[in-house]
Structure 1
Amino acid sequence: MPQKPKRLDDLKSTRDWWGVELRNWRRVRKLSSRQLGELVNLSGTTIERIEKNERPCDTALAGRLDEVLDAGGALRRLWSRVEADKCRADADNSGCTESVDGVELRVPGILESDRSTRLDGVPPVERRAFAMSGAAALIPIPFTSLIPKAGQSPPPKTVHAEDIEQVDAAATTLAGWDNLHGGGGMVREASVGHLNWARNLLSVKCPPALEKNLFTAVGRLAITIGASAFDAYEHDNARRLVTFGVHCAEAADNWHLRARALNVLARQDIWLGSPNTGLTHAENGLVRADRLTPREQAMLHNARARAWAKMEKRQEALAAIGRSDDAFSRARPGEDVVWMSFYDHAQHYGDTGHALFDIALLPGQSPREAAERLRTAVNGHTNAYVRSRAFSGTKLATLMMSTGDPHEAVATANRALNEVGRLRSKRAADDVRALSLASARHRSPEVIELRRRIGAVVRA
């Protein structure tokens, strides 16, 4: 006689609640544990143990179970709460890694400090701070321990339009900081709390009319933070965050956000020396080009051009630049979403100039067109896009140093270095290192001084 299934307690923990929901969805779909196991390449016994919280589960498996059970994201969203609760339980003692749909993010607990009641072993900077404030006798612990834990603000019980507006505002603010200061430093740290709060909105009740807007806002924030992580060379985090953004875009049926995400993935792979993979991302973004605006099409064709140029495929790169120029010529004011505001005349010329830069360095090629486009970008970028202006200025100086007048290159380079020195951007730092290498064959005093200055900027 078959045993009656074990009664599950959904009040014991969020993880147990998730197991109950998994069993409920399996029964709704009229599947035995063995049948469900076959769909995800597990045994029926393993499925039963997962339901009973006797076997570990992870984000990827939770997402797969949600998919095969056609749960509409319910299991996936509830799993994000399981992860969040686990992290909160661990946060008092150490940092914790949270994960949603494969996106992992290091979330600090309370700031690390000596918990002893004496100042023995406290770093000198903290002892000095206490001495200067006269607080040493009153508060004999490191002052950093007074800072509260991060990420403790609970999400609302139900998503409202105002919550989505907050996520959008956070994405806009962080993108502005990233363009102005680079992806490292405070920009990176500030993003962690924003993303934790935003992604928790996916696990609470949301009116159907707001679901697409919610996925769009959270996906946009993840892509923005992922792009910053790329600039800070946190490449694994960047890839996971932007891939999460792709999933959010697809859940929202938002082709514009999907194009933006695939553009970032393409640029990252091209930067990391995998132009073929970058080309695939760019062309994937253009699969339904009819659903994209001219600026979005131009952006992705530029990614294609940069990939072809890195592969030294001159004709293919020039053809992609031509298609990008053609698309950009059809752009009209007011037709793009807010996150495409960066793609203006200066950005287009800078992007195409970067692709032409790689072509210009091939044997027998003229640097003139690349230099003109990069110069247009440098002159056109506003102060809101300091990093983009620094990128184009550094590339222009490197091109001049490699193919033209080193005297003019030094003047251009010094202007770019004024801005690179204010950024927290590892990409910008690597670009000026490349400029230093290009200048090594020139021995004039001004070039030698430029290389000395580059060294100082990179070390800062």
Structure 2
Amino acid sequence: MPQPEKILDPSHSPEAWFGHELRLRRKEAGYKTAAPFAAKVQVSVDVLLKIEKGDYRCPEDLPPRLDTVLETGGLFSRAWAMVFSDADRKRRDADTRSPRPLEGGVQQSTGRMLEGGAPSSSTRSPDPLYRRQFLVLGSLLALDPLDLTALLSPTPPPPVPEKISTREIRQLQQIAAGLHSWDNTYGGGGLIGQLATDSMQWAIRLLSVPCPSSQRPDFLGAVARLGLVAGASQFDVYRHDDARLAFKVAVECAEEGQHWHLRAKGYSFLARQAIWVGDADDGLTNAEKGLVRSDRLTASERAMLHAARARAFGKMRNVQQTIAAVGAADDAFAQRRPEDEPPWMAYYDDAQHNGDTAHALWDLAVGIDDYDPAQAGQRFTAAVRGHGPGFERSKAMSCTKLASLVMRRGDPREAAAIGRKAVALGGGLTSLRAADDLRQLGQFASRHPKIHEVAELKEEIGATLRP
């Protein structure tokens, strides 16, 4: 009696992910059993089954034959290069690095806010972030807007065409869409950050290529969109100069192409970045630039920019102006009609609006003792409840800020319970912003060293963050 097939877990290891994809595509191609397919690709049945089960690494010479027989357009060749050669490089780097002592003797957990090292062998299960990045890689390869292996390779960069065509415009749009989704889910570090940087460099090189006048508005719009999402990824991991350049390229392209919605988003990002690095006045200026000719903007875009103004005023501890800007954001958002919004503004829903305005009120609540923290707390709570799959970073950051607010102004034990949820939500992200929010929560927790639950939370935060 034939044995049932082993159930594959593609998140277990690089080999498991590769094997899962191979079995799936073999069966989709009509090879229901392994033997005829093994003969086609010139390997033994035993070797093929071991590769599919994740028990054996695919030999380097096999992927081209897999691509030919399965007609995948080079998928497995790119996957092998991106998965196994990168894992080998990480192991070699790890071997040459001396171990670093842990802070305060705190034992590190497997879930980390920042990227950890690769597993040392195929039998060792990677940490949660490592597993999640292999799942992201599957999406990268499925998108296949251009040769992503070349785009991610440090040398040489992808070639530029003699003139811009619909192909380049489509590629820019697809990369932007993929980056936007992956960045919101996993943060801007690791493979995602590298793709953001390399794709933006490629886009800037394309700007010097001749483009037919009939296609130039679409081309400029595609570059602007990529600049926004690449800049957001770079901002998330504190590559501020790169992020600022990407945002400014996006704004300039949007203005030249008369894409007023993209222009507004660009100024919103410039405002948020300036506020984050401590220049609230510059942040306010950028937010108000974005609101110029607000009649051309959608309700969500106006709400987004008024929320940025509120965050700037909050950093300045200007209570009256902060509350007025939050009110203007609420008024604009109340007029929102999702069907009128551009695709990249679909994220700005009730959860996002509550989170953005709560951040502005948070600065008042933690910085001014006689300011009532209730509004900020209610909005953060609504944001945490409202953020769905695909917005893990936003959910984690709102949860962390809520925990910090309660730790500072409310019941430390309640804050510890919220904080543990925040650690669980953010433990697999590659976001430096989310990491710093957790670090700040740990500082607030330090004020209550005698409360057992708070002390446990502080240890958990220390174990989650890279020393």
Normalization by structure 2: what TM-score? Answer: 0.66
In structure 2, give the amino acid aligned to 1:324. A
**Structure 1 position 306 matched with structure 2 position 311:** yes
The answer to whether the 8 A contact 2:187-2:236 is kept is yes
Q: Which residue matches 1:418?
A: 424
- Hey, which bits of structure 1, 4+ residues long, moved more than 6 A? none
User: Residues 439 and 162 (structure 1 numbering): CA distance in 2 closer, same or farther, change over 3 Å?
Assistant: same
Q: Which residue of 2 aligns with 1:457?
A: 464
Determine the C-alpha separation between the residues in 1 that align with 2:206 and 2:259: 18
Q: Does 1:387 align with 2:393?
A: yes
How far apart, CA to CA, are the structure 1 residues paired with 2:217 and 2:153? 34
8 Å Cα contact 1:150-1:193 kept in structure 2? no
Structure 1 residues 24-43: aligned runs within 5 Å: none
Q: 1:157 to 1:223 in 2, by over 3 A?
A: same
Query: SS of the residue aligned with 1:273?
Result: coil
Gaps of 5+ in 2: 1-91, 97-117, 123-151
CA offsets per residue over residues 214-243 of structure 1, 9 Å max, x none?
011112112211111111011111111211
Query: Residue 173 of structure 1: CA displacement?
Result: 0.5
Q: Tell me if the contact between 1:282 and 1:303 (Cα under 8 Å) persists in the aligned partners.
A: yes
Q: Which residue of 2 aligns with 1:6?
A: none
Cα displacement (A) at 1:390: 0.7
The reply to whether residue 250 of structure 1 matches residue 287 of structure 2 is no
State the structure with more CA Rg: 1
Deviates more, 1:171-180 or 1:297-306: 171-180
Structure 1 residue 151 displacement after superposition = 4.7
Q: Are 1:432 and 2:432 an aligned pair? A: no
Equivalent of 1:284, from 275, 285, 289?
A: 289
Q: Specify the SS of the correspondent of 1:383.
A: coil
Q: CA deviation at 1:123?
A: 6.6
What CA distance in whole angstroms lies between the structure 2 residues aligned with 1:148 and 1:282?
36
CA offsets 1:409-437 (integer angstroms, 9 cap, x no match): 11111111112210111111111111111
Matched residue, 2:46:
none
* CA distance in structure 2 between the partners assigned to 1:269 and 1:275 by the alignment: 6
One of 391, 403, 409 as aligned partner of 2:409:
403
CA contact (8 A) 2:164 2:211 kept: yes
Alignment partner, residue 369 of structure 2: 363
Q: Distance in 2 between matches of 1:245 and 1:422?
A: 29
Relative distance call for 1:274 and 1:124 in structure 2 (3 A) is closer
CA distance in 2, matches of 1:350, 1:123: 39
Corresponding residue SS for 2:215:
helix
Q: Find the residue that maps to 2:211 and give its secondary structure.
A: coil
Question: Could you report, residue by residue, the CA deviation over 1:86-138 in whole angstroms, capped at 9, with x for unpaired residues?
Answer: xxxxxxxxxxxxxxxxxxxxxxxxxxxxxxxxxxxx87849xx9xx99xxxxx
Give the whole-Å Cα distance in 2 for the aligned partners of 1:358 and 1:301.
Answer: 16
Q: CA RMSD in A?
A: 2.3
Structure-2 residue corresponding to 1:152: 157
- Aligned residue runs from structure 1 range 197-346, under 5 A: 197-346=202-351
Contact 1:151 1:196 in 2 (8 A): no
After TM superposition, the score normalised by the length of structure 1 is 0.67
Q: Distance in 1 between matches of 2:205 and 2:217?
A: 15
User: CA 1:124–1:385 in 2, change beyond 3 Å: closer, same or farther?
Assistant: closer
1:375: Cα distance to partner?
0.3
| One of 432, 448, 453 as aligned partner of 1:446 | 453
1:170 is matched with which residue?
175
Given that 1:151 and 1:197 are in contact with CA atoms closer than 8 Å, whether structure 2 keeps it comes out as no
Shift in CA distance, 123/293, structure 1 to aligned 2, threshold 3 Å? closer
| Mapped partners of 2:422, 2:190: distance in 1 | 20
2 CA distance for matches of 1:124 and 1:431?
28
Cα gap change, 1:404 to 1:173, in 2 (>3 Å): same
SS at match of 1:155: coil
Letter in 2 for 1:357: W
Identity of aligned residues (%): 46
Provide closer, same or farther for how the CA distance between residues 451 and 170 of structure 1 changes in structure 2, counting only shifts above 3 A. same
Instruction: Determine the structure 2 residue equivalent to 1:378.
Output: 384
Q: Which amino acid aligns with 1:370?
A: A
Looking at structure 2, the residues matched to 313 and 404 of structure 1 have their Cα atoms a distance apart, in angstroms, of 23
Determine if contact 1:306/1:317 at 8 Å carries over to the other structure: yes
AA aligned opposite 1:435: L
Report the secondary structure of 2:158's partner residue: coil
Query: Partner of 1:110 in structure 2?
Result: none
How many aligned residue pairs are there? 324
Gaps of 5+ in 1: 1-121, 134-146
| Structure 1 residue 312: Cα displacement | 0.6
Cα deviation, 1:354-401, whole Å, max 9, x if unaligned, reads 111112221211111111110000000012000000110000000011
Label 1:192 to 1:437 Cα distance change in 2 as closer, same or farther (>3 A): closer
**d(CA) in 2 for partners of 1:156 and 1:191?**
20
Higher RCO (Cα < 8 Å, 6 or more apart):
2
Kindly provide the amino acid, as one letter, of the partner of residue 460 in structure 2.
Answer: R
